[in-house]
A = this chain, B = another copy of it.
Amino acid sequence: MHFADALTQRIRDTSPLSVGIDPVMERLPEGIPKTIAGASAFCRGIINAVHDIAACVKLQLACYELLRGEGMQLFWKIAAYAKERGLVVIADGKRNDIGSTAALYAEAYLGKGSPIDALTVNPYLGADSIQPFIEHCVRNDKGIFVLVKTSNPGSMDLQDLPVGAESLFEHIGQLVQQLGLQHLGPQSRLSCIGAVVGATYPEELKYLRSLMPNIPFLIPGIGAQGGTVDDVHHGFLTNGTGAIVHATRSVIYASSGKDWQEKARAATANMAHYFTSHFVPSASGSGKSTQL
């Protein structure tokens, strides 16, 4: 199934939430050894806690790369486990390079049989560097999320620079919409080419939604980064789909005690309840808040 159709269905079945599965040794809760085996148990525990109330998990590759070869083995095992449990799996690598190397990244993460459904991609190298990812999306029913306006304070340094009458992020937003229009899902009318737009810039989010009506948004920055659930309202389409809202630290490190799984589920369920009751009509038209 086309990535955007599968994502839309999954949002309807659960919530528009994405939860970060980002093991950081010093932050592992009480009772979890600070080892690869401990990190593995923690990641699986969070997946088990949220698998039926979140649409997606997002694995931050930096957390795994820090643990070197063993960490990357863990990354692939955790991605496969999340996929098994029915979640849409996003690898957050913000990868890119010149075309011939971009093709290797695309094959590595979005190849046939990979448990990864989508990868985040950096646009700085231009359209020819994005093309190999798009080819893999089309061939293997995968997705990408291109960085448009990131959630950090420094995103204004380059992304807000004026390019003629518009800003650089607007320019990239238009490019993503143009590329995306060529690859829409037959059910959702959304593209397999998505965009990363931070919750910390709600005005820009609203504007980019109008500029990119066919583009799924991955919206990080709520919780620890300061964005609120209200801030992301305008990232959704009027039918309540088209966006995934991502949180990590406020969910998976909600408790450092033995109740870490319960607290992670409760934090996810709270947000899911908010979104499903406010924005997301289910396939039958009724909210899903009773599930929570």
Pair A126/B152 contact, Cβ less than 8 Å: yes
Residues of B contacting A60 with CB < 8 Å?
97, 101, 104
Closest to A163 in B: B161
With A95-B94, A164-B162, A171-B161 known as contacts, the answer to whether A126 contacts B154 (CB < 8 A) is: yes
Question: Which residues of A121-179 are within 8 A (CB) of B?
Answer: 122-129, 147, 150-159, 161-164, 168, 171-172, 175
Pair B168/A154 contact, Cβ less than 8 Å: no
- A62–B107 alpha-carbon span in the complex (Å): 9
A259 at the interface (CB under 8 A from B): no
With A62-B97, A161-B171, A172-B158 known as contacts, the answer to whether A147 contacts B129 (CB < 8 A) is: no
Pair B162/A104 contact, Cβ less than 8 Å: no
A98 at the interface (CB under 8 A from B): yes
Question: Which residues of A91-124 are within 8 A (CB) of B?
Answer: 92, 94-99, 101-102, 104-105, 107-109, 122-124
**In which size bucket is the chain A interface?**
35 or more
Residues of B contacting A122 with CB < 8 Å?
94, 96, 122, 124
Q: What is the interface of chain A mostly: helix, strand, loop, or mixed?
A: helix
The smallest C-beta distance from A32 to any residue of chain B, in angstroms, reads 19
A254 at the interface (CB under 8 A from B): no
What string of 1s and 0s marks CB contacts (under 8 Å) between A192-236 and chain B? Answer: 000000000000000000000000000000000100000000000
- A62–B98 alpha-carbon span in the complex (Å): 11
A76 at the interface (CB under 8 A from B): yes
Listed stretches A38-46, A65-73, A182-190; interface member: A65-73
The smallest C-beta distance from A82 to any residue of chain B, in angstroms, reads 16
Cβ contact of A125, chosen from B63, B71, B75, B147, cutoff 8 A: B147
Q: Beyond the given A99-B154, A125-B154, A126-B156, please list 12 additional residue pairs across the A-B interface where CB-CB is below 8 A.
A: A60-B104, A63-B104, A69-B69, A69-B70, A71-B72, A96-B122, A98-B152, A128-B154, A129-B154, A158-B171, A162-B164, A163-B168
- Give the 5 A-B CB pairs with smallest separation, nearest first: A126-B154, A69-B73, A128-B154, A126-B157, A98-B152
Task: Show 17 residue pairs from A and B whose CB-CB distance is below 8 angstroms, ordered by the A residue.
Answer: A62-B95, A62-B102, A65-B109, A66-B105, A69-B69, A69-B72, A69-B73, A69-B76, A70-B73, A94-B95, A122-B122, A124-B124, A125-B152, A125-B155, A126-B156, A127-B157, A163-B168
